């Protein structure tokens, strides 16, 4: 059945947002250097990551850093900025793709590390690169329903292992051009962490209200991008084609409930030049209102949107309209409007 799932919020606001990015920088030129023998054998040029994807560098955790410690740090910063006592947090939801084990949830480590009360519900939401937006929407619904007072949404990503494994695998004898291009998107990934505190808007007039949004699924495309710690395998052309069909179907139907043609900022999931240019062109967006972080940070999975919003926050003023836009493997799309 075709159609959007549409949600509106009555009394939920984003109170704070914090991002933590790693100290170690890995340039695309460095990855080219590691892959030079296979690039030469396949007669592929260097510089593809910069020219095709627009990713010049990405961040990786330095010695002594880790995604979970950084996520806890981001959560503590967000709590301090919001001025909310951690004893009043009723929910912490972790939205990361990165997970060192299948159980227990990553959320329990964050709950413990942040010293949250035993009454704070804690669990993971896994939905590829849409997890953080989904987590914000769920938290807002629970706040509206009066089930919780405050919520903490967190995400931490570590791309080191998957990129190391990918470079090693692509460097083997027998790798074909098709193999290389199928794993090319893995080389755009980066590491980072983010956290957001949400609470009741009527108690925080200076908060940034969540107004509403839409989600839409096209799960017939569930095999186009499949990833794990060993690697991520993508049919990039089919994924772009299916993703654009889904995004534009959701965008057009959303006009029945929202007017998003003239937002002050469009904060998109950060993938590449190709994906960003396609959405800007199809939706007729003002390119100057679409901030980019993937050239410096790469694709940081679900943390991409909150990291980008955190970097934009200082340039936003009260009353600005912000649209969060994402596409996640599977394929799903989500759009969420904030009144800054």
Annotated catalytic sites, by residue?
103, 129
Spatial contact of 334 and 138, defined as CB atoms under 8 Å apart: no
DSSP, residue by residue, 28-85 = HHHHHHHTHHHHHHHT--TTHIIIII---EEEEPPTT--HHHHHHHHHHHHHHHHT--
33-40, Cβ contacts within 8 angstroms, sequence gap of 24 or more: 34/167, 34/171, 35/167, 35/170, 35/171, 37/171, 38/170, 38/171, 38/175, 38/180
- Distance, CA of 57 to CA of 55 (rounded, Å): 6
- Distance, CA of 120 to CA of 111 (rounded, Å): 8
Nearest to 269 by CA among 126, 131, 137: 131
Q: What is the CA radius of gyration of the chain?
A: 20
The neighbour count for residue 220, using CB atoms within 10 Å, is 10
| Residue 229 DSSP code | T
Query: What is the SS3 assignment for 243?
Result: helix
Look at the block and give the residue holding tokens 């107004």: 211
Spatial contact of 162 and 227, defined as CB atoms under 8 Å apart: yes
- Distance, CA of 197 to CA of 15 (rounded, Å): 6
Nearest to 58 by CA among 300, 293, 297, 272: 297
Spatial contact of 5 and 214, defined as CB atoms under 8 Å apart: yes
Q: How many residues does the chain have?
A: 340
């Amino acid at each position: 059945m075709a159609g959007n799932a549409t949600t509106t919020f009555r009394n939920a606001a984003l109170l704070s947002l914090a991002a933590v990015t790693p100290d170690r920088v890995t340039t695309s030129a460095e990855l080219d250097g590691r892959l030079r023998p296979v690039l030469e054998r396949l007669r592929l040029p260097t510089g593809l990551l910069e020219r095709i994807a627009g990713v010049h560098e990405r961040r990786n955790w330095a010695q002594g850093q880790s995604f979970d410690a950084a996520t806890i740090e981001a959560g503590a910063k967000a709590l301090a900025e919001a001025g909310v006592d951690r004893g009043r947090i009723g929910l912490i939801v972790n939205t990361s793709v990165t997970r060192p084990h299948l159980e227990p949830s990553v959320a329990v480590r964050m709950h413990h590390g942040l010293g949250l009360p035993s009454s704070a519900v804690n669990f993971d939401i896994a939905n590829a690169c849409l997890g953080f937006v989904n987590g914000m929407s769920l938290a807002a619904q629970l706040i509206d329903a009066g089930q919780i007072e405050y919520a903490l949404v967190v995400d931490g990503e570590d791309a080191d292992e998957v990129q190391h494994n990918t470079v090693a695998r692509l460097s083997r004898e027998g790798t074909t051009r098709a193999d290389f291009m199928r794993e090319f998107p893995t080389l755009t990934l980066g590491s980072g962490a983010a956290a957001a505190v949400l609470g009741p808007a009527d108690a925080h007039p200076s908060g940034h209200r969540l107004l509403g949004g839409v989600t839409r699924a096209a799960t017939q495309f569930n095999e186009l991008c499949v990833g794990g710690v060993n690697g991520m395998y993508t049919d990039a052309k089919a994924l772009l084609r299916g993703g654009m069909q889904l995004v534009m179907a959701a965008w057009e139907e959303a006009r029945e409930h929202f007017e998003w043609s003239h937002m002050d900022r469009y904060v998109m999931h950060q993938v590449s030049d190709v994906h960003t240019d396609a959405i800007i062109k199809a939706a007729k967006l003002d390119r100057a209102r679409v901030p980019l972080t993937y050239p410096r940070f790469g694709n940081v999975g679900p943390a991409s949107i909150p990291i980008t919003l955190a970097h934009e926050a200082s340039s936003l003023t009260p009353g600005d309209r912000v649209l969060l836009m994402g596409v996640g493997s599977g394929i799903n799309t989500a759009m969420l409007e904030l009144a800054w």
